[in-house]
Structure 1
Amino acid sequence: MVANKKIFLILLFFLLAIVFSPSAGYSKNLIWGGCGITKKAFMAELSKAYEKKTGIKIHLKGGGATYGIRAVGIGRIDIGGSCRHKIKGDILERNTRLIPVAWDALVVIVNKKNRLTNITTKQLKDILLGKITNWKQIGGRDRPIKLVIRKSKISGVSYMLREMVFGDADKDFRPDAIIKKSSGPVEKYVEKDLDAIAVSGISSARKRKGLKFLKLNGLAPTKKNIGTGKYPLVRPLYLTVALRPSKMVRDFIKFALSDEGQAIISKQGTVNLKEKNGTH
């Protein structure tokens, strides 16, 4: 009786492992999940090209940068996408490896009808902290500044913004900021409100016609300025994998890093690895 019970439990374990494995039900497929910015920067087109080349379909899910790191670590997805680094010492992120495949920039976004064209890093800091609260303080009209931010401090944009601008990933922003759950709603809000300002990833924000990017310290977030590193807020975009990824995963990573894959990334308007630091 005891032996039968042990056999049953062993069989049940293997059955659950099959059912809940990332690619269960997909014999030649992979599952990707992660930040929308990485998806828009290159993953959507890269996955299409890979399927055409190999017949292997990559199912794209959302979830954000944190999901893109942590879901790989627990085996929920095969490959992740992240626009932030791993959090040092975080037990939930220790079982993943981040592979840089492209470069992105954090951009200061305003409504396209906003007459302002430039902002300094110091002014951006003061807006985030609530020290500057009116557009007239930085050369705009006499209207209150509505700061729109992401909900989580560990989202791709929030984490990297705090790290790059303040050197403190736990920095608190002004308490009356308008909070949205992801970059998409943040960008949509700014599109509709002339008084709004936010920071987002250029790979996502450039697809919205109602937005304008402010120059930062006189530098526009052009592909050239991002590639040379002259633009101040540049960050890597990652594919995340398990510490011991499957051959299917390794093959896709090789494709993403190949000349063919990097050319697809560049074609999307995203800075690829060779284009960084003006090496192209």
Structure 2
Amino acid sequence: MEIGQNMRKNILVALVMGIIVWGLSDTRGFSQGEKTKLVWKGCGISRRAFMVECAQAYEKKTGVHIELIGGGATLGIRATCAGDADMGGTSRPCLSDLFPEQESGGYLTIVAWDAICFITHPANPVDGITTKQARDILTGKITNWKQIGGPDRRIVLIYRIQTEKEKFSGVGYMTREFLFGDPSVDFAEKALYFRDTGLVERNVENIESSFAADGVSSARKRRVKILALDGIACTKENIITGNYPFFRPLYLITRGKPTGELKKFLDWILSDEAQAIISAQGTVNLKEGEGLKEKFKLWEHTDLILNY
């Protein structure tokens, strides 16, 4: 009987050890990057422009699911740097000099080109504005469409909630840099405020006298009028040539240099297959925008851009 009990104990120990070894083996596989899901957080413009289509294509090709969570460029940067996401989408650079605790440790990969544009309701007869008029509208010096050749209607400014943090959203930061060369400039307070760019776009669709800054890669998928700037339409062709002035890179950010499944995805999104998907969605891909790198004047910390 004692021998039988010992045998049962030995079998039980062996089973337990086997389960532990299997569990450790499985955990080690995930730590080396053998994931079946990657989490992306960030820029709603990148998400609407091409990330949905790219995520679907990658999952179909590899079986790896890309979970897309919006919330803005700042969230994308900070969640990734904090380890709360595998990667982020951002339309502005990391500002580690201003926010060392929140935005340090990230590496950027340029995946496409976008442009800051200005949008209004399709029924608005105004088709274009000047750079000076854009400045004056956003700072409250121009308040009526009749001041720039439109109908006698108050301009309804629409943008994200204007806090210190939102000045550093992808659209907010780059608009201020392009128009004023100063990301701390205050926009006019009399406006409608929303928590994300998607809601800004939706309200521009519904309010005839509206005005907002946006990213064209997302705006072109909405029912809005994209205003010409200084007589130049914000088309894909004018972004590619650099004739439209407010072009900017779109990035993926990783915490440190990517490895494992994350690196596989980044390698894929830079491939001809993925870049063709980006272009098909109306966004300027890397090959199309290869001449923009030298023309773009707002590069920061290029040592942290993996494909600069």
TM-score, scaled to structure 1: 0.87
- Work out whether 1:98 is the aligned partner of 2:108: yes
Q: Spell out the pairing of 1:168-187 with structure 2 (5 A cutoff).
A: 168-187=182-201
* Unmatched 5+ stretches in structure 2: 1-26, 293-308
Contact 1:228 1:277 in 2 (8 A): no
1:137 corresponds to which letter in structure 2? Q
Q: Spell out the pairing of 1:28-177 with structure 2 (5 A cutoff).
A: 28-89=36-97, 90-91=99-100, 92-151=102-161, 152-177=166-191
- Work out whether 1:256 is the aligned partner of 2:269: yes
Contact 1:224 1:278 in 2 (8 A): no
TM-score, scaled to structure 2: 0.80
CA distance in 2, matches of 1:191, 1:63: 20
Q: Provide Cα deviations, 1:9-52, integer angstroms capped at 9, x if missing partner.
A: xxxxxxxxx8xx99x9x941111111110111211111111111
CA distance in 1, matches of 2:122, 2:65: 38
Find the counterpart in structure 2 of residue 8 from structure 1. Answer: none
CA distance in 1, matches of 2:49, 2:250: 9
CA distance in 1, matches of 2:177, 2:105: 23
4+ residue runs of structure 1 moved beyond 4 angstroms?
none
CA distance in 1, matches of 2:149, 2:89: 38
Find the counterpart in structure 2 of residue 207 from structure 1. Answer: 221
- Work out whether 1:222 is the aligned partner of 2:235: yes
Contact 1:97 1:241 in 2 (8 A): yes
Q: Provide Cα deviations, 1:163-221, integer angstroms capped at 9, x if missing partner.
A: 11111111101121222111111111111111111111112222222x11111111111
Aligned-residue offset at 1:232: 1.6
CA RMSD of aligned residues (A): 2.1
CA distance in 2, matches of 1:71, 1:208: 28
Aligned-residue offset at 1:69: 0.7
Contact 1:97 1:243 in 2 (8 A): yes
Find the counterpart in structure 1 of residue 9 from structure 2. Answer: none
CA distance in 1, matches of 2:147, 2:35: 59
Find the counterpart in structure 1 of residue 256 from structure 2. Answer: 243
CA distance in 2, matches of 1:119, 1:27: 48
Aligned-residue offset at 1:73: 0.8
Q: What secondary structure is seen at the aligned counterpart in 1 of 2:111?
A: strand
Contact 2:107 2:257 in 1 (8 A): no
CA distance in 1, matches of 2:235, 2:244: 8
2:122 corresponds to which letter in structure 1? K
Tell me which structure has the larger Cα radius of gyration.
2
* Unmatched 5+ stretches in structure 1: 1-17
1:122 corresponds to which letter in structure 2? K
CA distance in 2, matches of 1:230, 1:181: 32
Q: Provide Cα deviations, 1:56-108, integer angstroms capped at 9, x if missing partner.
A: 11111112111111111111110110111111412111111111110111111
